[in-house]
Structure 1
Amino acid sequence: MNAREKLLAGIVGGVVGLALLAFGVRAIVIAPLRDLDKRIGVAREKIGKIQTQRRAYFAAEERLGEVVRRTFADTVDEAGARSGEMLTRQILAAGLRETGFTRTPVSRNTVRGAKEIGWNVQGDGPLTNIVNLLYLLDRTPWVHRTENLSIAAGEVPGTVRARFSYLTLVVDPAPEVQRTNLVATATLEDPARHLLNSIVSRDIFRPYMRRPATPPQPGQPAAPFSRPGVPPGPENFRVVSLSEWDGQPEIHVRDLAGQKTLRFRPGDELAGGVIALVDYRPLPRPDNALLQSYSRVILRIGTDYWAIERGRTLADKRKLAAAELPPGLAAKP
């Protein structure tokens, strides 16, 4: 090998050595740096998640504090007592009698971090005042939910019976918050309350009455007048309502043949006798002693008294024994 070949071989060897050195430096220095960059990226991602969770935690803690400030108390016993006092105040504010309502404490599901408590409420009163109560309870500032609402006709004419559950929360453990003295500020003069007047004006519990029949066209014979006591027979006349309006009992009798409703008051003639009064005592039904009948019309025929239960026809009238007469009626001449 001459000098020139030796020079070329040295140059090639130097190039190869430099290449190997470069790969070695890369493997020794650059690869750990890349690995370090990856670890830094993973750490930054974890820190970002932690910061997001931290912000969410403080936001949730703030919302929880707002909820706790709107609860009645931090303990079940104290919250139950305060919510019961609030219910009493709202019943009176709605124009209802406190003694006319029963309140039974109820404890519902225990969820994580809170317990659901409340009251099952039941009572009778005029529909207007029941709507007042539901409105006032809905506008109370405390955390609450009203559910299982049921409204039906009451036992006394002109009243309805309401049943519902008023529920609230007790947070446990509750964070330390600066409580404020919450006060129910809703009144019956609020514009939002007046929007509910249509519920009362519709009189949803008054018995259904069919629209009067179209009068006959000129030249056509008019339908014969149908009244109790004449054909087509007393079985075609049903007592559909024994309401009381402005303190005066009113008897509604449905003419099933003529498809119209006749109205009577005490002193009017009905079913061959004179209406003595409307009896609102809850008594066992004559056809089924296991069921209750809450009203009936009392007729005086001669010296005897007869009764027709609400929902029955005039053909179902029955003679009353002296023990079945309402108080004071037997003494009347």
Structure 2
Amino acid sequence: MTHLISARDLRASYSGKVALDGVSFDIEEGASFALLGPNGAGKTTLINILCTLHRPDSGSVSVAGHDALRYPRRARRNIGVVFQTSSLDDRLTARENLEFHGLVHGLPGRRRETRIRQVLELVGLEEWEDDVVRTFSGGMRRRLEIARALMHEPKILFLDEPTVGLDAQTRQQIWQYLDRLRREWSLTVLTTTHYIEEVEDADVVCIIDHGKIIAQGSPERLKGEYGRRWLQVDTIDAATLEDVQARFPEAQVIGVRSIVVPAESADPEMFRKGTFEGKIMEVRHREPTLESVFLSLTGRELRDRADPGKVANGRGERR
């Protein structure tokens, strides 16, 4: 298969702090590639380099066959980007936002009109094309941003936290649209997300931490190679959780009163008697998941998960 993106030995630093330390990888044409890592791991720097927004200290990047460092404008013609923070003009209508994007990319009038109709239909917003964006719900805005990113027919779609701040139902809908996109348009998709469960079906998952790629492969391969079985222990209070954490150094807190312990380190029965008797609500096994892979490799969960409750609804916003 053709490599649409190839990165070799990328290095970058800010104020003496290393952001990327020799990162190399390839992304095949038509693949779904997920980039996972905690905040500060180097994801943002890497995405900015691939999108030609930042120049590395050293290394090389090829995007759709173009040297992205020497010919960034050629590379940009082949990529569409959905940013984590909305960049729509909410004073304009959906159509006007798409029209402006088409003008920026130099699409001629007739082609621009055709593309507006196509992408609005693709994301199910054709009925709202003349409505002002500030009346849209978070999910509708995200769908419009996906439509906008596709206006100029890119080969590669970058999705930086595409479902951040959205409720579970809307997140599922967004991924359904994206799956349809890949099937019908043969897009290559690179995604960053804090919701690991969203990339369980990705072709390749790449885990980055401290500026280095520490694991890469299909979800099943990573689970088989790095996944661990854990016991999830739900305690009655925070004090008991602290007692469990003190007894098992490798334990990881995953909630206010929940913690996971490596299955090889503990027996479920020990939490039902002795020191913990009467203090544990439930103990259950957790089979290897991408989450467990991440825990095993980095020693922690993805930090700063998005809180849908923090996203404000504007007055008159559709749901």
Shorter-normalised TM range: under 0.3
Q: Please tell me whether Structure 1 or Structure 2 has the larger radius of gyration of its CA atoms.
A: 1
**TM-score, structure 1 length as denominator?**
0.24
